[in-house]
Amino acid sequence: MCATCGCSEGATPSLAGDPGHDHDHSVAHVHAQPLGRAVLIEQDILAKNGRLAERNRAWFASRRIAAFNLMSSPGSGKTTLLERTIERLRGRAAVSVIEGDQETLRDAERIRGTGARAVQINTGSGGHLDAGMVADALRAPDPPRGSLLFIENVGNLVCPALFDLGEGAKVVIASVTEGEDKPLKYPHMFRACEVLVLSKLDLLPHLQFDRERFFEYARKVNPRLRVFQLSALRGDGLDEWCSWLLERHGPRAEAR
């Protein structure tokens, strides 16, 4: 069990397609540790992850890569949003994607279907990516200089918020199907992020979802959140979202 967030960490994460990948996962396997010992282990885990994250951040900066860590609960529409985003950015920016899931290659295959570079990390029983996994995964897509990199984290509103990956911005995605109280139930995630995306607006006519209350709760937790309201299916809000991505990126390489 992960000493930091409590998710199961029994299996060694691997790059999909590389079952022999030897990854030194930074999270220890811990059983019934005394409180003081558990706190020390948690500090060690996050300190080691923080050092690796800073290396990633320096690598991104040296290559002028804008990296975005996308986090949400399962089923919020992260992968569909990425597919539509890549389509909108075609000819304007090169895009690579690191996909995180416990099992399967499905999301990486969907992203490759758009023509973008993608690699899948399978975490086994683990509930989040960490900076070491991302560093290892970067060798596969080898993002070009001046490009955009999206890291689609494992679907989980708890563990991923704790682990810095070296990204330039953390983005939390919440769908209208999840209810208005998600920011209050999972405050650390919403507090850790710079950007909030409310997705699946096309479903609003079929739901009792109070947008004003949702944003009231979100800003109560984090008044500085930048908000985007999107429907990947209809295209609502995608132009504003993509413009923000390009603005955050600044000078970039020739699109591929």
The predicted-structure confidence for 12-65, as pLDDT tens digits, reads as follows: 566 764 433 433 433 333 334 455 555 565 677 889 999 999 999 999 999 999
pLDDT for position 101: 96
More confident residue, 235 or 36: 235
CB within 8 A of 47, min separation 6: which ones?
Answer: none
Query: Which residue matches tokens 């993002």?
Result: 143
* pLDDT of amino acid 61: 97
233 exposure class (CB count in 10 Å sphere: 0-12, 13-18, 19+): middle
Which pLDDT score, from 0 to 100, does residue 40 have?
66
| pTM assigned to the model | 0.86
State the helix-helix crossing angle for 238-249 and 78-89, rounded to 10 degrees. Answer: 70
pLDDT for 141: 87
In the chain the beta strands, taken as DSSP E runs, fall at: 14-15, 66-72, 95-101, 117-122, 148-152, 169-175, 195-199, 226-229
pLDDT for residue 167 is more than 60: yes
